[in-house]
Amino acid sequence: MASLWGGRFEKDMDDIVKKYNASIFFDQRMYNEDINGSIAHVTMLGKQGIVSNEEKDQIIAGLEAIRKDIAEGKIVFTVEDEDIHMGIESRLIERIGDVGKKLHTSRSRNDQCQVDTRLYLRKEVYEILNSLCYLESVILEKAEKYADQITVGFTHLQHAQPITIGFVFMAYFQMFKRDIERLSDTLERLNYNPLGACALAGTTMPIDRHLTSELLHFTAPTENAMDAVSDRDYSLEFLSDASISMMHLSRWAEEFAWWNSSEFSYIAIDDSFCTGSSIMPQKKNPDMAELIRGKVGRVYGDLMQLLTVMKGTALAYNKDFQEDKESLFDAIDTWKATIDIFAKMLDKTEFRMDQIEKQLGKGFLNATDIAEHFAKQGIPFREAHSIVGHMVKACENKGCDFEDLTDEDLQAIDKRVTKELLGDISIKTCVNARVSFGGTAPSEVRRQIEVGRQWLNSLER
């Protein structure tokens, strides 16, 4: 098949060069976007009188027939097609003749590939936003269910303070909320129309880029033709969003792996999200959590790959930019699948409160609450902190808990402290008292849930 760009060449490309140069095997997934962009473009050409209405209708009918054939598997692309743009245009010319050659008036593959990618990414962003919103809805349901259930809060992987499980869920809710907000911001910036920027400098033809923007539901045309074809920062921004969100998923997956271990036994993951061992019959491995934890490396790599491609490229278009799609497609596929798998796994995971309750008496979880209680009684907090530290040491020496310390023990630490001054230092009382804004008390967690639900319901799906 003769190349559509080969007029000044005397030799065809070497076969090995054709294969190396071709992007058809990965960019063919954008065939719908390429056809939509072409239809908008030729519609504008017709309105502007650059092609006749009859020619416009012929071209649109030809493109729709090609779309149908691709969808039905009747068209198989090969290395000879080079890319999805050439693959579709060459078949259009084969089907409708010389009229098809007018489609490419006032555009270049430079702006064509950009409009395809922006349209494709926009579609995928909407799907990812929906997936993230579903994940948030699962989190809210779980947070409500476990709003009163107490667990161990950790710092440095050591017992720190008692918290509610609902509080943990709402912490991750906030992370994914920011992921949604970041992705929504990216959507605003990517939704500008490069079509008509041509190779780098626009065109002498009387085109209407505002019309194609309207037809393709872009906010507006890009302001500068050279910028429109030579940057990929919207893809980089998406990959950054994906990397941050995958990091959040990976962190929670890491905790799932801990919580599922025999040492913790905090959760029961549904069998449908676990695997067994080929040699150890007793094993129930949290493989989906571990795989999610590992998948983040792919997306980090996708971001670094495109950053590296873009690093040293002078204005305007460079062939390097063909390397912008595989990493983008990989990140899209990986992020989407990971969100959906994690949301379903989360929905089918239950906490084993009997096992968690065994851990609440370990690690002096109420130490900070006692120090704050002393501060309320007029003891300066730094002194209160020191007193409780000595109480911990006394308990360790005696092999007991705070409640077991006698008045004699307490007086030996500080004359101001008695068992009466200690008051109610039960774990439940401590948790219920943490009603500061954003705190872990069940009442405050329920407020967070309600605010989160209002926010989620306010989003346009």
Q: What is the pLDDT of residues 31-73, one digit of tens each?
A: 999 999 999 999 999 999 999 999 999 999 999 999 999 999 9
Residues 333 and 203 in one domain: yes
**pLDDT for the residue numbered 5:** 46
**For residue 140, what are the domain limits?**
110-357
Q: Is residue 91 within 8 Å of 81, Cβ to Cβ? A: no
Evaluate whether residue 243 is within a structural domain.
yes
Residues 72 and 194 in one domain: no
Alpha-carbon distance 69 to 88, whole Å?
Answer: 11
Evaluate whether residue 277 is within a structural domain.
yes
Contacts of 49 (CB under 8 A, 6+ apart): 206
Q: Which of 105, 129, 164 is the last residue of a domain?
A: 105
Alpha-carbon distance 38 to 63, whole Å?
Answer: 8
What are the C-alpha distances in Å from 335 to residues 254, 269, 331, 340?
Answer: 17, 21, 6, 9
What are the C-alpha distances in Å from 330 to residues 1, 42, 162, 301?
Answer: 30, 31, 40, 10
Q: Is residue 110 within 8 Å of 317, Cβ to Cβ? A: yes
Residues 90 and 150 in one domain: no
Evaluate whether residue 345 is within a structural domain.
yes
Q: Is residue 191 within 8 Å of 234, Cβ to Cβ? A: no
Evaluate whether residue 458 is within a structural domain.
no
Evaluate whether residue 213 is within a structural domain.
yes
Q: Is residue 401 within 8 Å of 362, Cβ to Cβ? A: no
Extract the residue ranges of the chain whose pLDDT is less than 70: 1-11, 13, 460-461
Evaluate whether residue 317 is within a structural domain.
yes
**pLDDT for the residue numbered 276:** 87
Active-site residues, by number, are: 156, 277
